[in-house]
Amino acid sequence: MTSTQKLNIPSDRVERLHYIKRMFPQATGEDLSNSWAGGRSQALSKLHSIDAPSYARNRNFINGAVTHLSPYLRYGCLSLNETFAAVKAKFGLVGENLLMQLAWRDFWRQVWYANGDAIFSEMEAPKVGIDYAPLNDFVKQGNTGLPCMDAFVDELLTTGYMHNHARMWFASYVVHHLKTDWRDAADWFESKLLDGDFASNHLSWQWVASTFSSKPYYFNKENLGRYTGEKYCTGCTAKCPFDTDYETLKERLFTQAQITGIDISADRIALCRRRLLPALGGGTRFEIAPSTTSQAPASHDAVFAMAVFRHGGLSNGPASATPLLR
Ligand SMILES: Cc1cc2nc3c(=O)[nH]c(=O)nc-3n(C[C@H](O)[C@H](O)[C@H](O)COP(=O)(O)OP(=O)(O)OC[C@H]3O[C@@H](n4cnc5c(N)ncnc54)[C@H](O)[C@@H]3O)c2cc1C
């Protein structure tokens, strides 16, 4: 087909499928099912069949009453405003949960509008150590050996859809367990989705990676099992990387810098432990030095620096850290 050839696309869906097959004989794969028929009337029928009370109860479950509206919103078969207004008018407060999800979509779009192509790079410094390995072929082919992840990829490749919770689990596995470059993974993921949308997709990957959120997103087996009805865990013989508690996962996934603050004053150390430890987390320790000689200057500086960072008192040039620790 040349680029100037006029397309006379039949309005009947079945005829249209035959036509597309004729025009694009090189295209392979399954036809999309009727549930994904495109167009305005199909979009309206999806909008009218929303079950907001069930959505509020079970949207996080893999078989929950989610709307499947995203491709229609993505391609403008429905506007976000009319969807928001329709849900609000029909369900009022009961629709709040769904309205909040629509607001996320709006938020990501506003961030894109305000920042342009910057959303394709890290919006903020990552809050934990992440890495930048290219996305592996075994992931793209759904050959990780983990039944849950492979099923998610299989669904993505065959239907172009993945439930929101599965997207979160998958992205977290790819970024934090496999240490993949989130940008590489996000590009590939977006290209396979029927609802592929730069703003929702790339900013969600950043949210998982912690480059556009205050912490990384990670999950354990109990969480995945609960929201999938144990569908993938029952009978799974794979060595499960998620089968542990959150503390252990955190230590395993995110190597933290170990900083020890040493000071001869027991009072100062007690203050540091009380004030700074909760904010600085497990990689930081404070110890009392038995004498001034064992109070290494660099370690003392660490305590001082933390106090300064916390209070921003550097410009005052205090001679001692003590006032800043209060
Ligand atoms: C890693 C990752 C990548 C994503 N990539 C995309 C993408 O490319 N395109 C896309 O449209 N959505 C994306 N999302 C958001 C969300 O997963 C999908 O919008 C949702 O799963 C679509 O299915 P649904 O219409 O049945 O959702 P429902 O749960 O029924 O939600 C209704 C509508 O609310 C909006 N919505 C719901 N959850 C979110 C969310 N977390 N962020 C933004 N909007 C939301 C969508 O417009 C959705 O159609 C991504 C999420 C993650 C974690």
Q: Is 196 in the pocket of ligand 1 (CB under 6 A)?
A: yes
Least confident of 123-132, 180-189, 271-280: 271-280
CA atoms within 13 Å, Cβ hemisphere of 197: 20
Q: Is 53 in the pocket of ligand 1 (CB under 6 A)?
A: no
Rounded CA gap, 54 and 164, in Å? 16
The pLDDT, as a whole number, for residue 298 is 47
Q: Is 67 in the pocket of ligand 1 (CB under 6 A)?
A: yes
Q: How many angstroms is it from 75 CA to the middle of ligand 1?
A: 14
Q: What is the mean pLDDT of the segment spanning 135-139?
A: 97
Chain segment 215-254, per-residue pLDDT in tens: 999 999 999 999 999 999 999 999 999 999 999 999 999 9
pLDDT at 316 over 90: no
Q: Which residue has the tokens 């039949």?
A: 10
Catalogue all structural domains in the chain, each as residue range(s) with its CATH number: 13-119 (1.25.40.80), 137-253 (1.10.579.10), 259-325 (no CATH)
Q: Name the residue at shortest CA distance from atom 53 of ligand 1.
A: 168
Least confident of 163-172, 216-225, 309-318: 309-318
Q: Is 105 in the pocket of ligand 1 (CB under 6 A)?
A: yes
Q: How many angstroms is it from 164 CA to the middle of ligand 1?
A: 6
C-alpha distances in angstroms, 124 versus 77, 119, 120? Answer: 33, 10, 12
For residue 320, give the nearest of 264, 259, 260 by alpha carbon: 264
Q: For residue 177, give the DSSP letter.
A: I
Written as one letter, the residue type at 26 is: Q
Instruction: Tell which one of 75, 101, 206 to mutate to probe ligand 1, the residue whose CB is within 8 A of the most ligand atoms.
Output: 101
Q: How many angstroms is it from 175 CA to the middle of ligand 1?
A: 19
Cβ atoms of 76 and 69 closer than 8 Å: no
Rounded CA gap, 155 and 170, in Å? 12
Q: Is 167 in the pocket of ligand 1 (CB under 6 A)?
A: yes
The separation between CA 135 and the C-alpha centre of its own chain, rounded to angstroms, equals: 16
